[in-house]
């Protein structure tokens, strides 16, 4: 044994020898053992000999003084006890690595390093792959609120968002909200509200297993109202700041499935002076299937010296073209896919065409409306007569916020879910329409217009929009590609859509919608009529430029 240091101490009753030796380590690919060197303690009273340091054991190996037949002193030494390196265990072999947080479905292969089964992810393999599902349940939830203008004196938003949080967490005092354990995706609109309100909703939905994306697009136009894309509240825009804390403000998509891609489009890019747009999200639902959901907030109606219906025809033409471009590229890449469109269609043709408090399907008198909705796959008359849309929102006795917040006391058809296109997925389902309510009326100070004097009141509903839910059949089978391939296809679709002027072409009616129903079809020679509804020489539209 090599002695590194040697000390000789005189104690009168004996001599104490201390020697030390460096540690040696044996490290292999699958184990790590530290073997401390032995050292002699010397000759000392056996019964009072000091103990060895931690990591050693005391061993007697002889006597150093015996009188009258009694040995009073003994030689002993400290033998090093082999121990495992940090991060290893497994008895004397030290061949079992330690992962402090465990590896769930995986295996600990080195200290702190897990090897995960295919499809699992995370440091501890804690992120499980999505189940291979055959259905996708999607819900729309609109959070429109009008007390966000500074110093408004209204408090109904704060009250409602606290109640919404409780409803999301499963409080039995509410009705009209589907069982969120059965919902996979939530398409939310008009969340341009106070940051604390959004955080309440986000925290509650996280507790129910949802993650979210906003897309957070950068501004795409010089118009100052686009400085914070997609925020609905024009008073908020005039104030020059986002009080939601979100760049995208109004559009948020929540999903229980992994979100692998997003694309947000702000319609301010098309020179419309008001915020609206859509948010596309690519989800991984297993087996390499590409599921794109498109969350819509359509242009609200304002006096733009053109008919809002024509503006919306522009939007719906773009949506139809975008969904078609996604579908075509997924089809070409042999990726099973579905494209699902839903959200706030902001349709108020009914309000203008009917003075009754309960407009019926007979108020659908515009071919433009039919063609517009038809471009995205919704047959509006059939949907109305089959009671798939609208009635809870039309009737203030069912939704007491609809009459309070809708313009001029009229009521709107607002939300719908459409399976725009799919492969091997069957027909789109019926929409289930409900009104989210508190079973006990709540009180608040309401701003019925953006700058109106607050008024006291009570309400039961928590949104002036319908809650709409639909369950879609997803494409069957396993893709020959993986989600990396699907994401690459998704990005290619977006790039070709944006950089190839396909947006303008589709919105202008050249692809995906009829030329005669579009606001952008008028060339310099074909100006708007005084009524603003149609171009002169309607069917002589020029190609988009």
Find where tokens 């699907």 sit: 486
Identify whether 512 is part of a domain. no
**Statement: residue 441 has pLDDT above 90:** yes
Query: Quick one: which of 255, 325, 338 has its CA closest to 289?
Result: 338
Give, as one character, the DSSP assignment of residue 123: T
In a domain, 497, yes or no: no
Residue 5 reports pLDDT greater than 50: no
* Same structural domain, 80 and 113: no
The pLDDT confidence band at residue 433, using thresholds 50, 70 and 90, is confident
Percent of the chain with pLDDT over 70: 52
Domain co-membership, 417 together with 453: yes
Tell me what pLDDT residue 73 has: 67
Identify which of 382, 383, 386, 391 has the alpha carbon closest to the alpha carbon of residue 360.
391
| Mean pLDDT, residues 355-380 taken together | 63
Specify whether 52 is located in the same domain as 125: no
Quote the pLDDT of residue 367.
Answer: 63
- At 539 the pLDDT is 34
Last residue of a domain, one of 482, 512, 530: 482
Long-range contacts of residues 395-398, Cβ cutoff 8 Å, at least 24 apart: 395/357, 395/358, 396/357, 398/435
CATH number where 369 lies = 3.60.10.10
Strands of 96-235 (E only): list them.
Answer: 96-97, 107-110, 113-115, 135-142, 174-175, 185-189, 211-213
Over residues 490-519, the mean pLDDT reads 57
Alpha carbon distance 378, 347 (integer Å): 13
125 and 57 part of one domain = no
On whether residue 510 sits in a domain, the answer given is: no
Q: Is residue 232 part of a domain?
A: yes
Domain boundary among 22, 54, 84: 84
Whether the Cβ atoms of residue 92 and residue 82 lie closer than 8 Å to each other? yes
Residue 11 lies in a domain: yes
Task: Indicate the average pLDDT of the chain.
Answer: 68
In a domain, 538, yes or no: no
More confident residue, 51 or 525: 51
Q: What is the CATH number of the domain that holds 119?
A: 2.10.25
Query: Domain total for the chain?
Result: 3
pTM: 0.66
Does 76 share its domain with 108? Answer: no
Q: 272 and 302 share a domain?
A: yes
455, pLDDT greater than 90? no
Residues 16 and 121 in one domain: no
Percentages (nearest 5) of helix, strand, coil residues in the chain: 25, 30, 45
Q: Percent of the chain beyond pLDDT 90? A: 15
> Do 170 and 300 sit in the same domain of this protein?
yes
Contacts of 144 (CB under 8 A, 6+ apart): 189, 190, 232, 405, 463, 464, 465
> What is the C-alpha separation between 222 and 285, in angstroms, rounded?
38
Window from 132-141, 234-243, 259-268, 424-433 with minimum mean pLDDT: 234-243
Taking residue 533's Cβ as centre, other Cβ atoms within 10 Å add up to 14
pLDDT tens readout for residues 467-495: 889 888 887 666 656 788 889 989 988 88
Both 249 and 384 in one domain: the answer is: yes
Domain that holds residue 29: 6-84
One domain, residues 160 and 24: no
Name the token pair of 290. 């590409």
The backbone torsions φ and ψ at residue 268, rounded to the nearest 5 degrees and listed phi first, read: -60, -20
Domain assignment present for 93: no
Q: Is residue 345 part of a domain?
A: yes
Q: In what order do the strands lie in the sheet with 83-84?
A: 24-27, 32-35, 83-84
Residue 343 and residue 243 share a domain: yes
Same domain, 144 and 291: yes
């Amino acid at each position: 044994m090599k002695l590194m240091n040697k000390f000789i101490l005189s104690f009168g009753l004996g001599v104490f020898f201390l020697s030390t030796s460096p540690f040696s380590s044996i490290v292999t690919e699958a184990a790590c053992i530290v073997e401390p060197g032995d050292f002699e303690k010397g000759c000392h009273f056996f019964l009072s000999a000091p103990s060895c340091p931690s990591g050693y054991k005391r061993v007697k190996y002889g006597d150093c003084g015996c009188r009258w037949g009694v040995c009073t002193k003994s030689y002993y030494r400290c033998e090093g006890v082999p121990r495992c390196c940090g991060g290893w265990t497994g008895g004397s072999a030290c061949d079992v690595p330690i992962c402090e947080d465990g590896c769930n479905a995986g295996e600990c292969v080195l200290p702190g390093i897990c090897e995960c089964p295919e499809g699992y992810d995370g440091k501890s393999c804690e992120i499980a792959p999505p189940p291979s599902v055959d259905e996708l349940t999607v819900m729309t939830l609109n959070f429109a609120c009008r007390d966000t203008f500074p110093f408004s004196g209204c408090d109904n938003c704060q009250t409602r968002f606290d109640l919404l949080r409780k409803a999301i967490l499963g409080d039995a005092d509410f009705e009209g909200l589907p069982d969120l354990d059965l919902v996979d995706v939530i398409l939310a609109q008009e969340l341009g509200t106070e940051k604390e309100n959004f955080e309440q909703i986000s925290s509650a939905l996280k507790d129910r297993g949802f993650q979210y994306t906003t897309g957070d697009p950068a501004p795409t136009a010089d118009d100052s109202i686009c400085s914070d894309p997609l925020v609905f509240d024009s008073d908020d825009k005039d104030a020059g700041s986002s009080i939601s804390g979100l760049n995208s403000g109004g559009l948020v998509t929540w999903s229980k499935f992994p979100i692998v891609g997003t694309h947000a489009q702000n319609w301010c890019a098309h020179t419309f002076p008001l915020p609206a747009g859509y948010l596309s999200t690519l989800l991984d639902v297993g087996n390499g299937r590409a599921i794109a959901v498109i969350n819509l907030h359509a242009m609200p109606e304002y006096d733009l010296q053109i008919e809002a219906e024509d503006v919306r025809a522009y939007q719906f033409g773009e949506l139809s073209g975008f969904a078609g471009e996604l579908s075509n590229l997924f089809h070409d890449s042999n990726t099973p896919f579905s494209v699902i469109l839903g959200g706030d269609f902001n349709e108020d043709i009914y309000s203008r065409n009917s003075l009754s408090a309960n407009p019926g399907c007979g108020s659908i008198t515009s071919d433009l409306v039919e063609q517009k909705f038809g471009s995205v796959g919704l047959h509006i008359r059939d949907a109305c007569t089959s009671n798939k849309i609208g009635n809870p929102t039309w009737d203030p006795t069912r939704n007491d916020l609809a009459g309070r917040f809708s313009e001029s006391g009229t009521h709107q058809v607002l939300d719908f879910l459409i399976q725009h296109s799919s492969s091997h997925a069957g027909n789109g389902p019926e929409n289930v329409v409900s009104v989210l309510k508190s079973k006990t009326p709540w009180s608040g100070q309401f701003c019925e217009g953006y700058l109106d004097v607050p008024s006291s009141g009570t309400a039961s509903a928590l949104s002036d929009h319908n809650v709409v839910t639909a369950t879609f059949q997803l494409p069957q089978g396993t893709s020959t590609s993986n989600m990396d391939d699907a994401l690459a296809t998704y990005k290619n679709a977006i790039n070709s859509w944006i950089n190839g002027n396909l947006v303008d072409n589709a919105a202008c009616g050249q692809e995906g919608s009829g030329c005669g129903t579009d606001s952008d079809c008028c060339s310099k020679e074909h100006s708007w009529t005084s009524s603003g509804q149609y171009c002169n020489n309607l069917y002589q539209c020029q190609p988009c430029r």
